[in-house]
Amino acid sequence: MRRVSILGATGSVGQNTIDLIARAPGEYEVVALTGASNIAQLAEDARRLNAQVAVTADAARLEDLRAALAGSGVQAAAGQAALEEAASRPADWVMSAIVGAAGLKPGLCALEQGAVLALANKESLVCAGALILSTARRHDTHLLPVDSEHSAVFQGLVGEDMATVERIIITASGGAFRDWPLEALEHATLAEASSHPNWDMGQRITIDSASMFNKALELIETKEYFGVRPDQIETVIHPESLIHAIVGFVDGGLMAHVGPPDMRHAIGYALHYPERRDLPVARLDLPQIAQLTFREPDLRRYPALRLARAVMERGGLSGAVFNAAKERALDAFIAGHIGFLEMAEIVEEVLTRFDAETGRIDAEMTLDNVMQTDHLARERADQVMAERAG
């Protein structure tokens, strides 16, 4: 039996992963499931899958989790140290599906015990790409991309020589506001930003799709994961979300990955890799779809894409600053403290000031330096927001 763990099991990617694993109960031994506030879901899944341990990141919820698991034989644990301990338990395959920079350390723990890391948590690569890739190499294991675009690129590269890759085109739905007049964006509400035209995902990534901060993270993720130059990475708006990415080769050929917008495809590919297996996703009816369309992204509508370019060019720890500032700005938008367009303005200001004032961007990429940079960039984002409010 394959030993598997799911970090962020109660989220959107986590639940899709559980859906696939629960369909083949005899094939998997579930080691750890982790969550945060949704104790009922965590306990229900841990019981159903007979996990060794269930962990909530929220230390204050330990008693609730214990009560929900009473009599099940599943161990209950809580807090950051417990999360890292669970990620460090021997497993063959670990799904990294915590949202935000909080997923970095547990993902590294999983690699350090030698697991293959199925990576949905794009923030890990954005904050610490070189660190996570070198950790995998040092422990003789590897990452598998789960973000749909990166899974698509990965599949397009099977059997190919990286030296023949000319460009990677990452598609974007354009998010909730792609057809809104520019003037209206300023007043976009939380509810409006929290619904995606094509994908059903967690709230944070859905808002990031509307602002294209999600695509910005994905461009940086592409550079880190595939080791290509920033100028080889392109973005195109593709409202149907059926082509997930395209790889362009030196002979002019383009390999596009087409599939339904269902995360179980990318998760299933990573779960069964290098095999392909039957997956419970819809089969596309091309005549019914009739057409696939593309448009150039407007950088005035999506300033996050311009910022991603700056981060890719700057390198070093600028990805950690970018992500941390984005997370704080998103927290503030969700809390109703700032407007939709202010998120990008704040991130840009933090990036500029952090670079000019700290000299930390060029520090060595160690876990400590990344975590400290993340912390300082969050503080700076709060400071920028306080100044703007006052």
46 is a contact residue toward ligand NAD (CB under 6 A): no
* 57: partner contacted, choices Mg ion, ligand NAD, none (Cβ within 5-8 A by kind): ligand NAD
Query: Residue 282 gets which letter from DSSP?
Result: P
- Nearest residue (CB) to ligand NAD, 363 versus 371: 371
Q: How far apart are CA 13 and CA 11, in angstroms?
A: 6
Is 18 one of the binding residues for ligand NAD (CB under 6 A)?
no
The encoded tokens of residue 317 equal 């720890």
Q: Quote the tokens at residue 30.
A: 């579930």
The site that binds ligand NAD (CB under 6 A) totals a number of residues, namely 25
Binding mask 220-259 for ligand NAD (x = CB under 6 A): ----------------------------------------
Q: Return the residue of 43, 54, 77, 102 that touches ligand NAD, per CB under 6 A.
A: 102
Which helix (H) or strand (E) segment holds residue 320: the answer is helix 318-334
How much of the chain is in helix, strand and coil states, percent to nearest 5? 50, 15, 35
Q: Minimum distance from CB of 266 to ligand NAD (Å)?
A: 8
Least distance from ligand NAD to the Cβ atom of residue 10, Å: 4
Taking CB under 6 A as the binding criterion, the range among 25-33, 61-69, 116-124, 295-303 that sits at the site for ligand NAD is 116-124
Q: 120 is in the binding site of which of ligand NAD, Mg ion, none (Cβ under 5 to 8 A by kind)?
A: ligand NAD
The CB-of-127 to Mg ion minimum distance in angstroms stands at 17
Q: Which residue in 201, 210, 308, 365 binds ligand NAD (CB under 6 A)?
A: 201
What is the closest distance, in whole angstroms, from the C-beta atom of residue 287 to ligand NAD in the complex? Answer: 28
**CB 147, min distance to Mg ion, A:** 4
Cβ of residue 216: shortest distance to ligand NAD, in angstroms?
Answer: 12
Quickly list H helices, 117-157.
122-138, 148-156
The answer to whether 106 and 7 have CB atoms below 8 angstroms apart is yes
What is the smallest separation between the CB atom of 164 and ligand NAD, expressed in angstroms? 27
Q: Which of 118, 114, 112 is nearest to 84 (CA)?
A: 112
Q: Which of 79, 202, 239, 315 binds ligand NAD (CB under 6 A)?
A: 202
The residue (of 153 and 344) whose beta carbon lies closer to Mg ion is: 153
Residues that bind Mg ion (CB under 5 A): 147-149
**How far is Cα 197 from Cα 192, in angstroms, rounded to an integer?**
11
List the 165-172 sheet strands across, edge first.
Answer: 233-237, 165-172, 243-249, 254-258
Specify which residues 116 forms β-bridges with: 93
The token duo for 43 is 């306990």
Least separation in angstroms between CB 218 and Mg ion: 5
> Mind giving me the DSSP string for 21-88?
HHTSGGGEEEEEEEESS-HHHHHHHHHHTT-SEEEES-GGGHHHHHHHHTTS--EEEESHHHHHHHHH
Is position 150 an interface residue for ligand NAD (rule: CB under 6 A)? no
The residue with its CB nearest to ligand NAD is 11
Residue 119, CA distances (Å) to 6, 42, 153, 287, 359 in order: 11, 20, 14, 34, 30
Determine contact, residues 260/285, Cβ cutoff 8 Å.
no
Q: Which of 12, 155, 222, 318 binds ligand NAD (CB under 6 A)?
A: 12
Interface positions with ligand NAD (CB under 6 A):
8-14, 35-36, 57, 97-99, 102, 120-123, 147, 199, 201-202, 204-205, 263
